[in-house]
């Protein structure tokens, strides 16, 4: 039986929640053995498929995920790897990679070329989120990248994060408090991955 590992980082549990939904979906599938691991405890050797999940912090994956990508880029390049990001705002750009990119319909933001975006919009452009990942693991052939809407509960955050989010919400009015995790979007993405895994068996 093929083995799938879901590796994630999560500061306020949204990314962990998405990872858990994915785990349940793939376990129901019965086609794979599925494990879930926080990034700091993860060991990817022995797995056929790896799914990596990170929240977006200041337009990038978390430092733990970036470190993981950098340290494991050679071994990841030999596996079937997918990535998902959770964030509160994304400005979709035309996809200029050959990797399918799934953007959660919950963002409900039309696509716009990067060069037509304001400075603030660019910091949340899908192309910039994704290109930043490639800085750490250029040769990893991701089979699919998803950007899911996460959740934001200001009063549960560290004071410094509350302060930063307060400013972010003024710069980008689409950033709103609440839980926007949508199981249907996660389900749709998992279906795309399953179709790919089945083809590759
Ligand atoms: C320090 C910090 C920086 C963030 N930066 C961004 C950002 O640049 N863009 C964005 O859309 N969301 C940003 N967010 C919101 C998170 O990406 C979002 O709430 C995510 O779902 C949190 O995932 P977690 O609960 O797994 O940590 C930021 C949150 C924090 C705490």
Note the pLDDT of residue 201. 64
State the Cα angle at 135 between 45 and 80, rounded to 5°: 35
155 closest CA partner among 169, 147, 146, 166: 166
What does pLDDT average to over the chain? 95
108 closest CA partner among 174, 170, 172: 174
State the Cα angle at 15 between 44 and 198, rounded to 5°: 55
Pocket of ligand 1 (CB under 6 A): 10-16, 55-59, 86-89, 124, 150-152, 161, 164
Which residue in this structure is represented by tokens 């306020």?
12
pLDDT tens for each residue of 17-61: 999 999 999 999 878 899 999 999 989 999 999 999 999 999 999
CATH of 2-200, one of 3.30.70.580, 3.40.50.360, 3.40.605.10, 3.40.50.300: 3.40.50.360
pLDDT tens for each residue of 143-189: 999 999 999 999 999 999 999 999 999 999 999 999 999 999 999 99
Closest-lying ligand 1 atom to the alpha carbon of residue 124: 9
Pairwise CA distance, residues 151 & 1, whole Å: 34
SS3 38: strand
Please count the other Cβ atoms lying within 10 Å of the Cβ belonging to residue 56.
20
Distance in Å, CA 156 to ligand 1 centroid: 13
Domain regions of the chain by residue span: 2-200
């Amino acid at each position: 039986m093929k083995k799938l590992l879901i590796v994630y980082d999560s500061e306020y549990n949204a990314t962990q929640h998405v990872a858990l939904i994915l785990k349940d979906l793939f376990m129901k599938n019965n086609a794979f053995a599925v494990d879930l691991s926080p990034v700091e405890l993860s060991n990817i050797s022995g797995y056929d498929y790896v799914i990596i999940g990170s929240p977006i912090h200041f337009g990038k994956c978390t430092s733990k995920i970036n470190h993981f990508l950098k340290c494991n880029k050679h071994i990841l390049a030999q596996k079937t790897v997918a990535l998902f990001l959770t964030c509160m705002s994304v400005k979709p750009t035309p996809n200029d990679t050959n990797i399918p990119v799934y953007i959660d319909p919950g963002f409900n933001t039309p696509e716009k070329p990067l060069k037509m975006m304001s400075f603030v919009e660019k910091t949340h452009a899908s192309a910039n989120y994704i290109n930043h990942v490639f800085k750490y693991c250029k040769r990893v052939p991701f089979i699919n990248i998803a950007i899911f809407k996460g959740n934001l509960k200001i009063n549960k955050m560290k004071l410094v994060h509350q302060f930063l989010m307060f400013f972010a919400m003024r710069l980008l009015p689409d950033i709103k408090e609440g839980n926007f995790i949508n199981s249907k979007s996660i389900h749709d993405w998992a279906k795309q991955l399953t179709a790919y895994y089945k083809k590759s068996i």
